[in-house]
Amino acid sequence: MARIASEVMRERLKVYFIMGSTNCKKQPLEVLTEAIDGGITLFQFREKGSGALVGEQKYEFARQLQNICKKRGIPFIVNDDVELALALDADGVHIGQDDEDARIVREKIGDKILGVSAHNLKEAQAAIAAGADYIGVGPIYPTKSKEDAKKAQGPEIIRFLRGQGVDIPLVAIGGITAENAGEVMNAGADGVSVISAIASAASPFLAAKQLVQTVFNND
Ligand SMILES: Cc1ncc(COP(=O)(O)OP(=O)(O)O)c(N)n1
Ligand SMILES: Cc1ncsc1CCOP(=O)(O)O
Ligand SMILES: [Mg+2]
């Protein structure tokens, strides 16, 4: 297996849904199925926060979500937990600045997809040097889905990074909805990454579909 080509990565990042059991209003397997029906292009399993599953229960839940993704051809990325990603033979891992070092994670996961969070130019350049396949930049807008989120920087951070020559696949995250996704794409993002816009929606199917329409019509 070779590393993912950056043009393929860019397509996959378009509507990147992130979810764990604590984010969902409905049954999580149903939420993921609806989101896929609505057209999401990538999925990240992020099981954290108060009440999150651990151990065997976390593994079993992840496996069920992964099976849904596999059947529908949606790559399955694991947040933070590199050992879980390896145990499941997931498609990739997403890590942040407070997680395991990106260079070490790259060594551990071989050619699997590696996503790294960046909040500024220095972190973005370090992520690229460490072998990231994409960077996640945010929060762009205020978010209630991450307890320790940094201050929102607005779409300007994306425009700034692009202006500085950062051309790696880049996904924006934090407070993104169908209403503001257009301005995030216009700032230079390859895609948008969301938790609550889909996981907390009365209809995850319709919420995903709206995001998909906005992002793809912006091309
Ligand atoms: C696509 C994407 N971008 C950023 C993050 C945030 O990662 P991190 O900073 O490690 O925070 P946690 O998600 O682990 O709380 C992400 N998960 N996905
Ligand atoms: C994981 C993460 N990293 C930065 S903001 C955020 C939470 C995004 O969730 P939401 O889409 O509900 O704002
Ligand atoms: Mg993390």
The CATH number of whichever domain residue 164 belongs to comes to: 3.20.20.70
pLDDT, average across residues 28-47: 98
Kindly indicate the confidence band of residue 96, based on its pLDDT and cuts at 50, 70 and 90: very high
Nearest CA to ligand 1 atom 9: 96
Ligand found nearest the CA of 176: 2
Task: Compute, in angstroms, the gap from residue 96 CA to the centroid of ligand 1.
Answer: 6
Ligand 1, closest atom to CA 16?
1
Residue 219 has pLDDT above 80, yes or no: no
pTM above 0.90, yes or no: yes
ipTM score: 0.99
pLDDT, average across residues 44-59: 96
Ligand found nearest the CA of 177: 2
Distance CA 39, CA 101 (A): 32
Which residues hold their Cβ within 5 A of ligand 3, which is an ion?
Answer: 80, 96, 99
DSSP state letters, the chain = -PPPPHHHHHHHTTEEEEE-GGG-SS-HHHHHHHHHHHT--EEEE---STT---HHHHHHHHHHHHHHHHHHT--EEEES-HHHHHHHT-SEEEE-TTSS-HHHHHHHHTTSEEEEEESSHHHHHHHHHHT-SEEEE--SS--SS-TT------THHHHHHHHTT--S-EEEESS--TTTHHHHHHTT-SEEEESHHHHTSS-HHHHHHHHHHHHHHT-
Nearest CA to ligand 1 atom 2: 136
**Is residue 177 a known part of a binding site?**
no
- Catalytic residue numbers? 46, 117, 146
Total of domains in the chain:
1
Residue-range definition of the domain harbouring residue 27: 4-215
Residue 1 has pLDDT above 90, yes or no: no
Task: Compute, in angstroms, the gap from residue 97 CA to the centroid of ligand 3.
Answer: 7
- Indicate the average pLDDT of the chain: 97
145 lines ligand 1 (CB under 6 A): no
Q: Residue 99: what residue type? A: D
Q: What is the pLDDT of residue 51?
A: 93
Nearest CA to ligand 1 atom 11: 96
